[in-house]
Amino acid sequence: MTNKLRPGPLVLVVMDGIGYREAEEGNGFKNAYTPHFDFLWKHCPHLLLKAHGTAVGLPSDDDMGNSEVGHNAIGAGRVYAQGARLVNEALKSGRLFQGKGWRTIVEFCKAHGGALHFIGLLSDGNVHSHIDHLKKMIEHAAFYEGIHKIRVHILLDGRDVGETSALDYVVPFEDFLADLQRRAGGDYKIASGGGRMVITMDRYEANWNMVALGWKTHVAGEGRGFHSAQEAIETYRREIPGVIDQDLPPFVVVDGEGKPVGPIQDGDSVVFFNFRGDRAIEISRAFEEKDFTKFERRPYPKVMYAGMMEYDGDLHIPKLYLVEPPHIELTMGELLCQRGVRQMAIAETQKFGHVTYFWNGNRSGMFDEHLETYIEVPSDIVPFEQRPWMKAAEVTDRLLEEIRGGRHDFIRVNYANGDMVGHTGIYQAALIAGTTVDLCLGRIIPVIEEVNGILIVTADHGNLEEMYELDKKTGKVKYDSSGKPKAKTAHTLNPVPFIIYDPYGIKHGKTIRFNPELKGAGLTNIAATCFKLLGFDPPDFYDPSLILDFE
């Protein structure tokens, strides 16, 4: 590397799962003891970056960011399709039907003579799912895979689409299945259903009874029987004046003898076709976890289960999914190797893949073994709320050793505490996690000053800063019947901090200036910024740098 503008390295700290939120109630980072972060925020150039929704390639700004798309975005330097857009592309190109997830589902079903089941939100709202995705998969299974028995378990929307629009989807869909049955000669039916706020689609572990009722409906085939989904909806609307789709009770479709047409049984395959993760995680856990204790799964058939996507990349839920991560090329790591930049990535096990695999565009291995060093600090195998400090101290020990060693030009480090402890919903642990990350910043700052390097502090998405459920309309914390705040374990829609500390520049009267014309900046702008801080012109196809010329 010949363009280096500072004696020491550029060190990028990712405070995983620590977003920015002004409100204090339930804020596990703001209410933690964070004097070092506060010092940087007060005295250094800083701004807020979008880390969710369209800024990281998700279908809408109602979609939370996550560690996978966050690290993809930082490493790639531009937005790649995620969620609905990614599913659209996978279906159009045929990749979905060639992938491991689909092939495993189909082969298991055929080998055991079982039915293929689809569960998900039946609408074109495109927030959690899209009916067109479902129809394309069913048609492919019928015509190209020779699957003769397909059952669909529909969750009625009424939130992302009109609140009483269910029949606008159900009636044409029942016609679609009937026509497919005539053309392909198979047995294709809706088997069960219910409102999305009544069964199956719980989130944040707010009400596991919803999932238990969904299990009883979809898997056991137990519940009030109707001869069609249309009959069920029309009947409930007559019986419950003013009811909207999301609140419709569950139903089971039965045959002429009153038997359910589609309970899930041994040898069947199941696809949960929602692409958004928050309301897909719990039902996925119910199908996959061997030591599941949230409710009694009766029956618990031996099936092959897959989600449309990997809904939780930290916990790898589900294990099998249909749409692979985006195909990302020419990432920051690859292009910096081409320029001779010596790079290091370090994290504990929980996030090691994020600063390597996901950072490099879902690519295993190194681009150049002579220029790259990857260091994994083994994580403890204990619940995170019991040791919220995790391995942050050990990661920092090794990080400081490598900074002082002078062997690297660019170092990226991930502190997993904010995300992994944030997911526990334990507020006391969250405060400790936030303080832990700040203690590590306090150790890094003087070493950056010692070697005349540059420090960037940022995050990949929010989590720790919003540990309680908030009312969407008022923004106030929700409380349960006992008066306690409702715990939140999911990611957030909040922006993340971005700070640059350049002690060498400060000593020599040099000022870092953010680009005032850059509006709506997000994680993808970080890559070009790093190029400038390392003395290189960023590639034209990257999203613009956050800073103006740097010297």
**What is the C-alpha to C-alpha distance for residues 134 and 171, in angstroms, rounded to an integer?**
15
- Catalytic annotation on 269? no
Q: What values do phi and psi take at 120, rounded to 5?
A: 165, 180
The count of other CB atoms within 10 Å of the CB of residue 373 is: 15
DSSP 3-state assignment of 303? coil
**How far is 209 from 494, CA to CA, in rounded Å?**
29
Q: Rounded to an integer, what distance in angstroms lies between the CA atom of residue 250 and that of residue 214?
A: 8
Give strand ranges (E) for 269-379. Answer: 269-272, 304-307, 343-348, 372-377
- The one-letter amino acid code at 97 reads F
Could you give the CA distance from residue 151 to residue 192 in angstroms, rounded to a whole number?
A: 9
Of the residues 60, 67, 364, 482, only one is catalytic, namely 67
Q: Of 544, 511, 522, 549, whose CA–CA distance to 533 is shortest? A: 549
**CA atoms of 261 and 151, how far apart (whole Å):** 8
**395/243 Cα distance (integer angstroms):** 54
Q: Please enumerate in sequence order all residues whose Cβ is within 8 A of that of 1, keeping only pairs 6 or more positions apart, or say none.
A: 339, 340, 341, 342, 409, 534
Strand, coil or helix: 440:
helix
Helical H segments across 406-462, by residue range: 417-422, 427-451
Residue 251: name the closest of 193, 200, 191 by CA: 193
Distance CA 304, CA 112 (A): 11
List, in sequence order, the alpha helices (H) in 203-244: 208-218, 229-239
- Report yes or no: 114 and 268 within 8 Å, Cβ to Cβ: yes
Q: Are 32 and 435 in contact (CB under 8 A)?
A: yes
Q: Which two tokens stand for residue 94?
A: 């045929």
The DSSP call for residue 44 is S
Backbone angles phi, psi at 181, to 5 degrees: -60, -40
Supply the residues annotated as catalytic: 67
